[in-house]
Every structure is written in structure tokens, then in C-alpha cells.
Amino acid sequence: MINLVVVGGQWGDEGKGKIVDLLCPAFSHVARFNGGNNAGHTVRFADRHLALHLIPSGITHPHCRCLVGPGVVIDPVALVNEIRTLEGQSIDVRKRLLLSARAHLTLPGHRLLDGAREASKGRGRIGTTGRGIGPTYETRAARTGVRLGLVRNPRRFREAVAVTCAELDRLLGCAGSEARPAAEDIEASIAAALELAPMVGDTAVALAQAVSRGEPILFEGAQGTFLDIDHGTYPYVTSSNCLAGFAAPASGLPARVLGGVLAVFKAYTTRVGEGPFPTEMTDSLGDHIRRRGNEFGTTTGRPRRIGWFDAVAGRTAVRLNGIDAVALTKLDVLDEMAAIRIATAYRSGEQLLDRLPDDDAELARLDPVYEELPGWRTDTASVTSFDRLPQPAQSYVRRLEELLGVPVCLVSTGPRREETIFRELEPFTSWVPQLGERH
């Protein structure tokens, strides 16, 4: 049994929630290591849809301990609401959720600052989720933030919140905003944070103990490779590191504990917010995929931008994350297409490029070079065996494998757990040998 990192191979929204949920039977711990409630992980539970934002997707599995690490930023009001929603579905959260004392808190001023920064950027805005994520990482880096662990000493906690709020007021002024958080909103954040106190602890120690007992950990990444603050399409990125390698330091563990990397890719590409998107489709085919794939943000409800599968970006993701295997989601969304395109290179004048340039502005100027494959025009929804897929669908998956250079071990053909093809491929079968039998 290994410790596995599950990350998004594209710009987020790849369907990581379903894949993590499927893998949970093989893991005793599920740990979130980055992002905040900008994430939206959809999990099916007893025929209901759960949209999780901060709580790891393992929470619907009673045997899983769920941890939120120091690399995650926590909006206490959002988290308490999420806990209560889950409790309303009879899911026991409080005994199984451990929150890092080192995680930083998102306060109402962070959210206002997020909005003020976006407004001041005008056309150059990033298109953030508006959840205050960037400003929370900003005060963390400036060492003016509040860490969750302080809730264990309410007096010190209130003092720290006051210092951060004063700093945020200053930053709001600098951003040209006259808005200031209402006192009752700050009080609501304080009350929510204090409610979280019984769940606060040292997640790094808990995970290190799990490692020493040989209990397998699944690290659940949020967002996706190209939203990574250092390696993504800067500045149109989120403010945390989303790559697989960060799962270890962001959780307080040594790098050697990470045993494998499974990346989730959609069978096409989507992106929310602004920023370059070489394979974007702005035509009716894009609208068709958006409708069929219900491509509207889990967190904000915004329509997602749609594009063809970008194998140049995909190969870059394989290199950046050290991806060992791929889970391909939403294959069935392409069922009605007459032909399907894959970008295999980018063209810049006479020059062909086989990787993403390190200059974001240049990426926006490149033209993708496409390879076209025949569509299958057959219903593949709910298919559970690879051999049952129509030949062109099999060829599409095999071509993606060839272009990415790693095996596609899982193919998702619908939102439900059962609507999944498990392929008997290494390294997947050695990571989670018993999963095939369970599904």
C-alpha cells in the first residue's frame, strides 16, 4: 500500500472529487494540502450530490480520517457551514476531521480585499472565486495572518484577529476601497473559528504516525497544475502550490513518503476565470460540451470556458507532477461529436513548440496544432469495461496515453461511483489491489 497524491492535470475542475471518493476504500487517511474554499469537489453520496469545499472528499467514508493541513487556508464560517450541511446528511464529521493548528484563517477583510483587487484591475482581472484566497496567502507570507491554533487561547486569538483586521483595513485603503468588514461579520468568523477548536491539532504529527504505522494516506490536491502559483499560467493562477510534490512539505512530511501520483484529466479541457487558454473553443461545439458536461463552477456557478484536450499542457503536467497514471473523466460528454481534436504542439510563426512557454503572454499568442480523430457517436454513459467502449473511443484514450506517456488507469463515464472503467494496468493495480474487487 502506498501514499498516493491525486492532483488535477489541467486548470482545475477535472473531477478529482469523484476519483478520490472512489479510491477512499483503500486509504485510511485523506489529507487536503492546498487551497481553501475556492475548491469545489463534487461527491455522490447515497444518490445525493455533495459539494465539498474545504473538507476532504473522504468524509463520506466512515473509516477515513480526514485532515486539513497547514498549506490550506480556512474560512471558518464556510467550514462550519460545510460541517453542518454534512451533519444534516447524517455524516459524522467532528470526530473524524483534524484541522492543522498552523492553517491560516480567511477573515471577512480578506474577502473584501479579493473583490477590491479584482475591481481595481479592471480588464486585467484574474477572475478569482472571490473567496479571499489570494489575500489570505498574502497575509500568511507577510506574517500578519491569524493561524487557527490560536483558537485554543481565545484571548490571544481575539488580539491576533484585531491585528490582522487592522492590517486588512490598511490594505483595503491602499487598494482604493472604502469598504470595511462589518463588526458582526468579524464576530461571526471569531465564533465559527472558536467552534472549530475541538478539531484543531497537529496534522503533521498525525500523518507522521500514520506513516510509521504503515496506514496509507491519500493526499487530495485542489485546483490544478496550471493554477499553481509558481508553475501555472501566472498571474492567472491561484495563490497556492497545486503540484503533487508540494503534498509533502505542505503537510509537514518528508518528500520520501509520497509513493505515487495519479492525475485527473478531463477528456477535454475547461478553465474558469481569465488567462490564456490555447485550445479554447468559442463556437457552438464549445457550447454543446458546456451543456452536456454541465460545465458550471461548483463554487461560483460561473460558466466554464471549454477547449479541446491539450496534450502539450498535458505532457508539461506529467513532467511537473511526476504523474505515474491518469484518471480520465467525462469521456461520455464527447459522445455526440463527429470528430475530436487534440492539440499536439503549438505553433509560433515557423516554429513548433512541444511545451508550454514560461512566458504567459507568449502562451496567449501561440496557435495550437491539432490532430483530429473520429468521434464515436455512440452512447458511452455508464460503460464499465474498456472493451465495451466503441473502437474510436478506445483509440482516443490510447492516443492520449501515447501523447502523455503514462497509462490511463481509470476512465469515468458518468458521475456515479459505478460509472467507472477500471483498467488492469500498472501502477494502479499495485497501488490499490483490492479496489477492482470492490467495484
Q: Return the active site residues.
A: 13, 41
Task: Decide if residue 273 touches ligand IMP (CB under 6 A).
Answer: yes
Query: Which H helix or E strand runs over 423?
Result: none
Shortest distance in whole angstroms from residue 289 CB to ligand IMP: 16
305 in contact with ligand IMP (CB under 6 A): no
**What own/partner pairs with CB < 8 Å and gap ≥ 24 does 181-184 have?**
181/107, 181/108, 181/109, 181/112, 182/108
3-state helix vs strand vs coil in the chain, percent to 5: 40, 20, 40
Kindly state the smallest distance separating residue 238's Cβ from ligand IMP, in Å. 3
Binding status of residue 39 toward ligand IMP by CB under 6 A: yes
The interface mask with ligand IMP, positions 6-35, x = CB under 6 A, is: ------xx----------------------
Q: Which amino acid is at 312?
A: V
Residue 328: CB minimum distance to ligand IMP, A? 18
Grid cell 459524522 in the structure block, residue: 92
Kindly tell me which residue out of 16, 18, 131, 140 binds ligand IMP, with binding defined by CB under 6 A. Answer: 131
Q: Please give the distance of CA 204 from its chain centroid, rounded to a whole number.
A: 21
Q: Is 56 an interacting residue with respect to ligand IMP (CB under 6 A)? A: no
Q: How far is CA 316 from CA 321, 354, 355, 370, in A?
A: 9, 9, 6, 17
In three-state secondary structure terms, 427 is coil
Select from 66-74, 94-102, 233-241, 410-418 the region that touches ligand IMP (CB under 6 A).
Answer: 233-241
CB 18 within 8 A of CB 329: yes
Q: Which residue number is nearest to ligand IMP in terms of Cβ?
A: 273
CB of 127 to ligand IMP, least distance (A): 5
Contact between 38 and ligand IMP by CB under 6 A: the answer reads: yes
Q: Per rule CB under 6 A, is residue 238 in the interface with ligand IMP? A: yes
- Per the structure block, which three cell numbers stand in for 422? 477500471
**Binding mask of the shown chain, residues 360 to 399, with x at each position contacting ligand IMP by CB under 6 A:** ----------------------------------------
The mark string for 133-152 relative to ligand IMP (x by CB under 6 A, - otherwise) is: xx------------------
Binding of ligand IMP by 57 (CB under 6 A) = no
Name the phi and psi angles at 366, rounded to 5: -85, 150
Give least dist CB 51 to ligand IMP, A: 11
Q: Who's near 431: CB < 8 A, 6+ residues apart?
A: 1, 2, 4, 26, 259, 260, 262
Place of cell 466554464: 304
Type of residue numbered 368: P
Number of Cβ atoms within 10 Å of the Cβ of 198: 13
> Measured from the CB of residue 20, what is the shortest distance to ligand IMP in angstroms?
13
Q: Which stretch binds ligand IMP (CB under 6 A): 17-25, 124-132, 156-164, 189-197?
A: 124-132
Count residues contacting ligand IMP (CB under 6 A)? 20
Q: Which of 1, 85, 121, 127 binds ligand IMP (CB under 6 A)?
A: 127
| Cα 191 to Cα 66: distance, rounded to the nearest angstrom | 23
Q: Which is nearer to ligand IMP, 107 or 150 (CB)?
A: 107
Q: Which is nearer to ligand IMP, 214 or 301 (CB)?
A: 301
CB of 402 to ligand IMP, least distance (A): 27
Closest CA to 276 of 371, 369, 356: 356
Classify strands 104-105 and 65-68 as parallel, antiparallel or unpaired: unpaired
Taking the complex as a whole, the smallest distance from the CB of residue 223 to ligand IMP amounts, in Å, to 5
Per the DSSP assignment, residues forming a β-bridge with 351 are 348
CA torsion sign for 132, 138, 142, 147 is: positive
Question: Applying CB under 6 A, which of residues 261, 272, 320, 409 lies at the interface with ligand IMP?
Answer: 272
Binding of ligand IMP by 128 (CB under 6 A): yes
- 106 close to 35: Cβ distance less than 8 angstroms: no
Using CB under 6 A, list all residues that contact ligand IMP: 12-13, 38-40, 126-129, 131, 133-134, 222-223, 227, 236, 238-239, 272-273
